[in-house]
Amino acid sequence: MTQPVTIRDVQVITTQPSGQRLVIVKLITSEPGLYGLGCATFTQRFHAVVAALEGHLKPFVLGRDVSRIEEIWQMAMVNGYWRNGPVLNNAISGIDQALWDIKGKMAGMPVYDLLGGKCREAAAVYTHADGREPQEVEDNVRKFMAEGYRYIRIQMGGYGGRGAALAKPDGAPDGAYFDPRGYMRNMLRMMAHVRGAVGEEVELLHDIHERLSPIDAVQFAKDVEQFRLFFLEDSLAPEDIAWFRMMRAQCATPLAMGELFNSPHEWLPLITDRLIDFIRMHVSQMGGITPARHVAATANMFGVRTAWHGPGDTSPVGHAANLHLDLWAPNFGIQEWCRFNELVYEMFPGLPVVRNGYMYPNDKPGLGIDIDEKLAAKYPCQDWVEGWTQTRLPDGGPARP
């Protein structure tokens, strides 16, 4: 009997080639030269993920058969007993994605072929156009349109429209202040300008980023219906998902949700009750490719499309994993794209490329991406306390980011 290929070592690589702190898992196997990469990036708590990998998951997976991806995922999820949290989910994702990468390399096939093969040759992507005022947003939208993008997310002043003049009380603490009602007024003004200027041929998206109270979010979803968005993103916080039923009953604005989700109890009811149109979890946050393919298949049965989270704090390895899921899923909708710089492409050979608004695979076995560890080591992760998540209302009270 042929001896199984097993996990011989788990290496955790941290690097920061741009603004986000990335965590990459490298699984070394008993087969000489055979290894896999996975994304375990939780940029705001990367130390915790590294500790979970090195102190808990590494001893758990050493010596295990690399072919048994589903079993390893299921056992890793319950081995700590408490589960469905962002630290352990991301750590498990690093192992899981690396195992899929290894399986593809052993089979001589891209991961999308292991999942069932392509449904499309490339994945349509959207990128982000911001600005300080409506004309600047329009100008940036036109720049992206000139590059071939047909799906563009429009924001003004960042999440929550920061930068507006606020009347804060004396002694108000520092923080990322925003005015929810002012945000609503300004975004409607911006959307009216951009849609009127660029016409109907480009698909526009917008991200509330859970910044509104539930009833204001319902009103805002109704107000933006006139602009025919491709979707409205994160209109509610995970704690408020019961409000999606009211929102769905009052408007036909397409709704996208999921980047903060950890547990099936968060995404499953939204899919089975058809309360959203796009499911957009952060694939490492939910635990990797294994749960993502299950969610995509379930969503397909209920007419919900995928739109996996794809910001700069999804690592290049995570973006490669997203693309393989996109190419396979019959219910693919759109893919978020953060436009990495040249250093990132140099550090991660095989990082998918975008041409004329489409992301293309390279057709190499596995995930098709690698890492230059010597270059990555030149850009160590920096420590700081996040500022943008310390959001506050005009009176200084804490608010969701």
Q: Where are the alpha helices (DSSP H) in 242-315?
A: 244-250, 264-272, 283-286, 289-301
The pLDDT of residue 1 is 67
Q: What is the DSSP letter of 387?
A: S
Joined tokens for residue 351: 């990082």
C-alpha torsion sign, points 56, 26, 45, 310: negative
The whole-angstrom separation of Cα 388 and Cα 401 is: 7
DSSP symbols for 295-347: HHHHHHHTTPEE----STTS-HHHHHHHHHHHHH-TTB--EE-----HHHHHH
Give the pLDDT of residue 400. Answer: 86
Q: What is the DSSP letter of 2?
A: P
In this structure, what is the dihedral angle of CA atoms 120, 121, 124, 127, given to the nearest 10 degrees? Answer: 150
Q: Say whether 128 is catalytic.
A: no
Q: What is the pTM of this model?
A: 0.96
Query: Which residue in the list 126, 149, 183, 209 is annotated as catalytic?
Result: 209
What pLDDT does residue 159 have? 87
Q: Where are the domains of the chain?
A: 114-363
Mean pLDDT in consecutive groups of 10 residues from the start of the chain, 401 residues: 92 96 98 98 97 98 98 97 96 98 98 98 98 97 98 93 77 91 96 97 96 97 98 97 97 97 96 98 97 98 98 96 98 97 98 97 96 98 93 91 85
pLDDT for the residue 166: 83
pLDDT at 319: 98
Active site annotation includes 360: no
Domain 114-363: CATH superfamily, name plus number: Enolase-like C-terminal domain (3.20.20.120)
Q: Please tell me which residue in 35, 159, 177, 183 is annotated as part of the active site.
A: 159
List, for residues 72-94, the tens digit of each pLDDT value. 999 999 999 999 999 999 999 99
pLDDT at 161: 82
pLDDT of amino acid 167: 83
Q: Which residue has the tokens 């973006």?
A: 319
